[in-house]
Amino acid sequence: MFRSIFVIAAASVVATFVVACGTEPDTALPTYQAAEGTCYVRETAEEMLSLSNVSPWINCEYPHQLEVYGFGVLPDDLLNQPDRPSNALERLQASDVCPWDGIRGYLGAREFDYQYGISVWAKYPTQKEWAGGLRTVVCSLGVQDPLQPESRPEFTGSLRNIMGRTISDGIRLCRSGEKQTVCSRPHDAEMTGSIPVPNGDAQVRLDAAYRACQPVIDQYTAGQRPDDFVIKPLVGETSVDCWYGPATGTVIGSVRGGLR
């Protein structure tokens, strides 16, 4: 098992892809065969941006770029179109059709688990499938390289229930200075929770933030706080983000307790 989600081709979505014999079918995955947990590859940049599932499925333990987490519903005005409304589909966003409230459940996220670098992709039936009456929207998750936000790198391993495992540091929210990153990269603070703080002047809210973050961090770390870590609260007008990290320097990995 990899220590973190392993990015295979961070530099480009156009990557040469070699798979062990027997793991990749010769044909693309039909929309009607897609199921939760199905992983697939996009062999060219054009495929990555394609509106349909035109790429082959693959065992999730092999390098891939997308993993199906659920299914969406098209707007009513498109459902009854006899011909595939390609132009209208191009204008849709994943947030318009994919169940965003199902993402955390698929990832196995608990309270105060924060993800970073996860992207959502909506894929629609091909013209042939549309003509046959299929209207299913396949909703998939991908992983972004925080150093190259526009990239669509390959990764290995399934994202299902990943937040309960140590490899979740590859998609956990951390920061290095003022820049957000994932916890599998060097960082000086990890996001452990966001909670309300009472009104008052800046010092009152800061003092309240330190007190409020104590139980949050205890819960996040399952009571196993590193000795050299300190609270680094980011206080807003009504709430505080409880960042937690080493007093000096940077670390790699997550302090989330209860991971396996």
**Looking at the structure, do residues 40 and 98 belong to the same domain, yes or no?**
yes
Residue type, 130: W
Kindly state whether residues 163 and 41 are assigned to the same domain.
yes
In a domain, 81, yes or no: yes
Same domain, 44 and 150: yes
* Token output for 217: 């961090």
For residue 9, is it within any domain? no
Give me the pLDDT at residue 126, please: 85
The pTM of the full predicted model, rounded to 2 decimals, is 0.82
Query: Is the domain of 139 the same as that of 77?
Result: yes
Q: Judge whether 215 and 112 are in contact, CB under 8 Å.
A: no
> Do residues 89 and 136 both lie within one domain?
yes
Are both 37 and 121 inside the same structural domain?
yes
Q: How many domains does the chain have?
A: 2
- Which H helix or E strand runs over 205? helix 202-220
Q: Which of 171, 199, 215 is the last residue of a domain?
A: 171
User: What residues make up the domain containing 147?
Assistant: 31-171
The bridge status of strand 239-246 relative to strand 189-196 is antiparallel
pLDDT in tens, 181-211: 999 999 999 999 999 998 889 999 999 999 9
User: In what side-by-side order are the strands of the sheet with 173-176?
Assistant: 179-182, 173-176, 189-196, 239-246, 229-235
pLDDT of residue 46: 52
At residue 32, the pLDDT reads 66
Does residue 23 lie in a domain region? no
Q: Are 239 and 259 in contact (CB under 8 A)?
A: no
CB proximity list for 162: less than 8 A, separation 6 or greater = 5, 107, 108, 168, 171
Query: In terms of domains, do 181 and 212 share one?
Result: yes
Q: What is the pLDDT of residue 193?
A: 98
CA distance 143 to 221: 25
Contact 144, 152 (CB under 8 A): yes
- Domain end among 139, 171, 203: 171
**Is the same domain home to 167 and 184?**
no
Q: Copy the structure tokens of residue 129.
A: 């499938």
Does residue 119 sit in the same domain as residue 132? yes
Clarify whether residues 166 and 38 are in a common domain.
Answer: yes
Question: Which pLDDT score, from 0 to 100, does residue 51 have?
Answer: 55
122 sits in the region (left: phi over 0; alpha: psi -120 to 50; else beta) called: beta
Last residue of a domain, one of 155, 171, 187: 171
Please compute, for residue 107, the number of CA atoms within 13 A of its CA located in the half-sphere on the CB side: 28
Residue 143 located in a structural domain: yes
Q: What is the pLDDT of residue 62?
A: 92
Report if residue 24 sits inside a domain: no
pLDDT the model gives residue 54: 56
The pLDDT averaged over each successive group of 10 residues in the chain (260 residues) is: 31 20 42 84 58 71 93 93 92 91 96 94 88 92 80 87 96 97 97 94 94 97 97 95 98 97
Per DSSP (E only), the strands in 197-248 are: 229-235, 239-246
